[in-house]
Chain A
Amino acid sequence: MKKLNKSVLPAIFLCFICTISRAQETEEQVIPIESKYKEPVTKMWFNTYGKIRISKRLFWDAQTHFRFDETGSVNHIGQIAQIYNRHALGYIYSKKVNFSLGGVLRINFNTDFESEDRNVVPEFRIWHQYQFAQEVYRAMIYHRIRIEHRWTQSFKENSEYIYRNRWRYMLRAKVPLNHDKLKPKTLYISPEAELIMQSGKTVVASPLEDLRLTTTLGYILTPRLTVAAGFMYSMGQDLKNGGIYKQSYTGRIHLYYSPDFRKVKNKLPEIHLND
């Protein structure tokens, strides 16, 4: 059964990718001679991350993010920009390796005051993720590959959904500051870099959707509760014009929780996952 799980899961993901519909739109782009960087915008994210254990091998990945943008007068937290609901079923392959597959419903708010288009539009995604952790001295390093299949639409009335694939790789470290390892009551610093590439019919000259550079300071309250706050710089090509780069500075506040509602006796093989 274990072996079957290991071999079947990637196969399912592959089939899934191949059968995704490929509705795409095309739009003419005029690439400038030199790249242009837009003025950075300021943002603020309040993210909650839940990993709720439901069995020895499975967990429910539940994330809700509230993302704010600046307005003309207020930086970072001027207006709501997106509400993000990301859910997945996670599979714990080992203590250091886990996979997730699920969907995203994102509510996008129109942040352009001058726009007369719709104020709110939904966005749908299917996502799967492969995360690998490794110990390096007292720190932990994480490699995260996340692939998203994304259907978006603009705020214009009756605009059609465009389909894109996102290819994301993130390298993140967590370095304990006041203890020799990550354990409760530990303050840690977490530098991370994530490269988000995209593809699809509408993606002509802008494969680099986003490059995010973040540093977070976190505190592990208990094994099941951690809080963190950080700052992120990001830049990426404008979908409409690959020569134009968007930039942003984002403040991030995170809450990580991982409850376990299983009965005590089912929790017992917590350590020996492969026994």
Chain B
Amino acid sequence: MILTEIKLRLLSIACFLGITALVSAQERFEYQGPLQVQNYTGDALYSYKIVENDTLLDGPFQLKRSSLQALLEKQDISFLFKGKFTDGVATDAWRFQFGEFQSDSQSNVVNFEYRVLISGRQEEGSGDLKNGKPDGLWTYQVNQIKDSEKEKRLFKSDITFENGVPQRNFQIENEDVILVGRFLRNGLAHDEWTSYNVNVIENTESWFFEEGLLRKIQQIDEDGIEKDIPVYGINEDDYEIINLDKDFIEVLRISLGPGQISESFSEGLPNVLAANAGYYEKIDGILSKLGTSDFKPKFKVQVPSFPLDTLEQANLKILVTEYKKAEEISKSLLNNSHLNILKRSDENTQFYYNCIAKIQKDFLDPTKDFVRLGRRDLLQFIKRDTYISRIWSKTRPSTVINVSIDSIGTQKSFLLPNASDLDFTGNDIATIKQLVSYANLSLNSIKNKLSEQLFNAEQEQELIDLEERLILKNEALMEQIDSVKATLPIEYAKALQNIQNLADESLSKYALIEDSKEKFQYGTIINNCFTHLSNLSSSVAELPTQVIEIDSLYQDSVWNPFMAVLMDEDVKKRLTSAYKKVLVPYFLKTASQELNCESIVVLENEIQGSYQKMLLLREEDTKKLERKLRREENPKTIIQLFNVQPIKAEE
């Protein structure tokens, strides 16, 4: 008895310990099967756990895809993502491979293996992650592969990170440029960054950073002559840390003025950085989908900052909007083919056309970059007064727009009323805003003046086009009807002739209209009508075939024991009789009577709807419908019973 009690106690303790162990240790599951991450669908193998109903990746992870069949058939797009997660965050060593391969479909047997040589392109990024951020050396390579060997390196970047921040020396290269440089511990560019042109080794450009601030650019040309370009001083009030990307290069280009930095550097450096950023973004996209990740190379630089005050911001906003409107009007008018033709014959139009071209050239083209920088919030990093003073190298445009209107150079001026108080001489945003606003108002005014001439010319052209379409459609209709009329019974021919008559009458009526506006309106209506007439004539011409089709559809094959032959037996006779004896004659009668553009749409719909319904009813239980159809002679009721959806006249 005592022994039993001890056993029970031991058992309950064991149970308690077991349950506690189960509760405290979160269970890890393993998944093996298909998985899609972004556009990558492949075979996955990973561990995960469930925390508060959320699936958290935890443990080794692998997702891969490759298809030998696809490779042999055309091309295989393969990939492999391999690494580890801890509590849903990517950690430790990771490898990302992306491949696009083709094969010449020839195989060799080597050591009991079939080998297929592949050619194409492979990308591979590898390195360590800590808390989802790159940590340590990350290498990303893109290679061109030929016959399973590396043929050419298309891209390579070696960047060392610490907790996601780039550190120490780095090297990025593509086919044209090699860029080497250094970062401080906080990720700011520092010391000398040099880019070599791979093809011309002597031609180098070095950028000298001091804690992220680009102090000078040194260029050495092919003859070994050095040229120093000072960039940012250290005497500005305010500095800001921004990413070293295309925006920075843009700011730099504007700040230095045209022709200061070499094409190769200004193109090559951002390109190589953008390519690198693209590859990192690709990995970031995949990791973010799987868990938390912050995988972006943050190359930082410092730039002087000239913040916009509230008024400047408000002006910039208006300026951007007005520029967009002005640009739209200018482009649409300059590219308007009618206007281009009209200006040759009309002096006034020629004048306005030249005004638009001048506004585009003097007002809009020069301010294009300014507006773009404004849109991208980059004006705050640019000394605006210097920049604006450089925009118009010669004279600034004035409110009086002088253009020549003939070959001998006769001048004519355009000036908006109340424009005398406008002043375009300042070097601030307000001036640019005034200038762009004036351009916009001028363009609007010109557009209004031209619109009537333009409308008339356009309408005339449209009318000609419309007439051509009408004639083509009428001819096509005539041809269509003539080709079938002779082969069909008289009642069909009569209906088709009536359809043709309606088309002819409509054209005659159109021809008699004199007012062009009215003519255009009526022409548009009958153009639409002609389409329906063509459809209706097809429907009428197809009716005999459809009746035969319905006839054979509504037949069962029955074995006649007295004749020992199979015979066709008509089934659902009330349906076929309603269709053949009531509806078809009604369709033909309606088509042979007075038609108009509204009634043809309805009739066409009834013909097609009834036919389609007959096709469907063969297999349906129609006992109820057949009862209702008994002795029904009214076609409209039958169409209603067939549940043919009425069509709205305007459709």
Binding site for B on A (CB under 8 A): 49, 51, 53, 59, 90, 92, 95-96, 98, 131, 133, 140, 142, 174, 181-184, 220, 222-224, 226, 256, 258, 260, 267, 270-271, 273
Min CB distance B491 to A, Å, is 23
Interfacial chain B residues near A181, Cβ < 8 Å: 565
Interfacial chain B residues near A140, Cβ < 8 Å: 563-565
List 11 additional A-B contacts (Cβ < 8 Å) besides A131-B564, A184-B569: A95-B565, A98-B561, A183-B568, A220-B563, A220-B567, A224-B569, A226-B563, A258-B560, A270-B557, A271-B557, A271-B559
Q: Cα distance A5–B644 when bound, in Å?
A: 52
Answer whether residue B476 sits at the interface, using C-beta atoms and an 8 A cutoff. no
Q: Cα distance A181–B565 when bound, in Å?
A: 9
A183 touches B564 (CB 8 A): no
Q: Cα distance A17–B154 when bound, in Å?
A: 100
Min CB distance B419 to A, Å, is 89
Closest A residue by C-beta to B557: A271
In the complex, the 7 A-B pairs of residues with the closest C-beta atoms, listed nearest first: A133-B564, A223-B567, A51-B561, A223-B558, A223-B569, A256-B562, A182-B563
Instruction: Annotate B8-50 by CB proximity to A: 1 below 8 A, 0 otherwise.
Output: 0000000000000000000000000000000000000000000
A-B pair number, CB within 8 angstroms: 65
A95 touches B562 (CB 8 A): no
Q: How big is the B interface, by class?
A: 10 to 19
Q: Cα distance A226–B564 when bound, in Å?
A: 13
B561 touches A92 (CB 8 A): yes
Answer whether residue B471 sits at the interface, using C-beta atoms and an 8 A cutoff. no
Q: Cα distance A254–B558 when bound, in Å?
A: 21
In the complex where A270-B556, A270-B557, A271-B557 touch, is A258 in contact with B562 (Cβ < 8 A)? yes
Question: Which of A51, A98, A174, A184 interacts with B568 by CB under 8 Å?
Answer: A184
The residue among B556, B559, B568 with the most chain A CB atoms within 10 A of its own CB is B559
B564 touches A96 (CB 8 A): yes
Answer whether residue B464 sits at the interface, using C-beta atoms and an 8 A cutoff. no
Question: Which of B557, B560, B564, B568 interacts with A224 by CB under 8 Å?
Answer: B560
Interfacial chain B residues near A95, Cβ < 8 Å: 559, 564-566
Determine chain B's interface SS by DSSP, over half rule: strand
Q: Cα distance A19–B563 when bound, in Å?
A: 34
A222 touches B569 (CB 8 A): yes
Interfacial chain A residues near B564, Cβ < 8 Å: 95-96, 98, 131, 133, 140, 142
B557 touches A258 (CB 8 A): no
Instruction: Annotate B551-593 by CB proximity to A: 1 below 8 A, 0 otherwise.
Output: 0000011111111111111000000000000000000000000
Interfacial chain B residues near A174, Cβ < 8 Å: 563
Q: Cα distance A223–B236 when bound, in Å?
A: 106
Interfacial chain A residues near B558, Cβ < 8 Å: 223-224, 260, 270
Closest A residue by C-beta to B567: A223
Interfacial chain A residues near B565, Cβ < 8 Å: 95, 133, 140, 181-183
B562 touches A271 (CB 8 A): no
Min CB distance B6 to A, Å, is 73
Interfacial chain A residues near B569, Cβ < 8 Å: 184, 222-224
CB under 8 Å from chain A, chain B span 298-316: none
Q: Cα distance A222–B558 when bound, in Å?
A: 10
The residue among B558, B562, B566, B569 with the most chain A CB atoms within 10 A of its own CB is B562
Closest A residue by C-beta to B560: A223
Q: Cα distance A226–B560 when bound, in Å?
A: 10
Min CB distance A134 to B, Å, is 9
Min CB distance A174 to B, Å, is 7
Q: Cα distance A140–B565 when bound, in Å?
A: 9
Min CB distance A196 to B, Å, is 21
Q: Cα distance A222–B573 when bound, in Å?
A: 13
Min CB distance A238 to B, Å, is 33
Closest B residue by C-beta to A131: B564
A184 touches B567 (CB 8 A): yes
Q: Cα distance A224–B571 when bound, in Å?
A: 13
Interfacial chain A residues near B561, Cβ < 8 Å: 51, 53, 59, 90, 92, 98, 258
Interfacial chain A residues near B559, Cβ < 8 Å: 92, 95, 270-271, 273
B560 touches A271 (CB 8 A): no
Interfacial chain A residues near B560, Cβ < 8 Å: 182, 220, 223-224, 226, 258
Min CB distance A199 to B, Å, is 29
